[in-house]
Amino acid sequence: MSLPPLLTPDDAGCVLYIKHMVCARGIRVVRRELESLGLRVLDVRLGAATVAGRAEQLDWALIRQALAAAGFALLESPAQALVDRVKLAVAGLLRRADTLRHREFIPALAREMDLDSRRLHAAFAQLPGHESLISYITSQRLAFAQELLATSRLDIGRISRQLGYGSLAHFSGQFRRFAQCSPSAYRQQLEMSVVKP
């Protein structure tokens, strides 16, 4: 599945990539907002809308303002749109019931996105700050570990396995670099902050 280029006018219209549109309700709201601006909406799907007209005929500031008021954001480039889709897919894969080992994660993500893994890596490399796909996945995995430590009673070894780590030592080392403390210390700090008045 390839994305059409952003703001490329043709006979079918102009594609707008929209952030935070992740459900059917979002599709309806975006359609309503664009139509309220007098635009003829040709298609709306998760993450994108196609409107009639050429890019240079559209009032981009007005579109951006209307979408922002409704809780959405107009994306500036197809690469950014792809990265946002990847980020949603990463969050979904991390929360799946079945465990994905580190080496299995990017191939599973590529299948989920129906894209080559090289394209996924390249999309992240083009962003400001040059965060790699691997470092993004690692930081999201560790942020999810923090969430599990805060909201579940799972033991640390189980959390490590659930997040796809091959060893508790590897998980603990990465967590320590990420959170500046061990997983057990992180959980203890949370428990102490709840007990204090």
pLDDT at residue number 142:
95
Positive or negative, the CA dihedral 108, 5, 127, 125 is positive
How many other CB atoms sit within 10 Å of the CB of residue 109? 20
pLDDT at residue number 128:
63
Residues of the chain predicted below pLDDT 70: 1-12, 76-77, 80, 127-130, 195-197
Q: Rounded to the nearest 5 degrees, what angle is found at the Cα of 125, between the Cα atoms of 124 and 128? A: 85
Q: Could you tell me which residues come within 8 angstroms of residue 132 by beta carbon, excluding any fewer than 6 positions away?
A: 121, 124, 125
In order of their start, the domains of the chain are 14-76 (3.30.70.100), 79-195 (1.10.10.60)
Residue 19 Ramachandran class (φ > 0 left, ψ -120 to 50 alpha, else beta): beta
